[in-house]
């Protein structure tokens, strides 16, 4: 498959697992916790680094701001072999009791972002 137009990567350039923060600066912060970090590509809001964490090879790819640019990153990563995508970063919350710095593992989300349709059930 040809080089992807936004991420500027092709098959073989990335690992099966990708962490996707929004901010390109967070790519470097995450990579600093890993071993063997190597920048693969950088274009606009997308910065891609391959690294190893506790023996597991992974790719770290920033997505920029908003769902459209995140969708581009996920689709292009999928086209070149990424099988597991884990979003890391900040989020909003509706529940009381969640404090700044708390870890949240989401099992669902309310979509009102404008990229995908949200279906409502009665």
pLDDT digit string, tens, across residues 68-117: 999 999 999 999 999 999 999 887 777 889 888 888 888 776 666 666 66
Each domain of the chain, given as residue ranges in start order, spans 17-87
Burial classification of residue 25, based on how many CB atoms lie within 10 Å of its CB (0-12 exposed, 13-18 middle, 19 or more buried): exposed
Q: Is the pLDDT of residue 39 over 80?
A: yes
Residues with Cβ within 8 Å of residue 64, at least 6 apart in sequence: 22, 24, 44, 45, 46, 70, 73
Q: Is the pLDDT of residue 122 over 60?
A: no
The closest of 57, 49, 67, 80 to 111, measured between CA atoms, is 67
């Amino acid at each position: 498959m040809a080089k992807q137009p936004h991420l500027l990567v092709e098959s073989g350039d990335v690992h099966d697992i990708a962490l996707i923060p929004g901010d390109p600066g967070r790519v470097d912060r995450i990579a600093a916790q890993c071993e063997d970090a190597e920048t693969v590509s950088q274009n606009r809001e997308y910065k891609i680094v391959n690294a190893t964490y506790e023996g597991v090879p992974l790719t770290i790819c920033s997505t920029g701001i908003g769902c459209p640019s995140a969708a581009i990153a996920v689709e292009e990563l999928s086209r070149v072999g990424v099988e597991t995508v884990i979003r890391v970063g900040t989020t909003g919350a509706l529940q009381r009791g969640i404090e700044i710095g708390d870890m949240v593992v989401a099992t669902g989300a309310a979509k009102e972002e404008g990229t995908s349709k949200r279906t409502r059930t009665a």
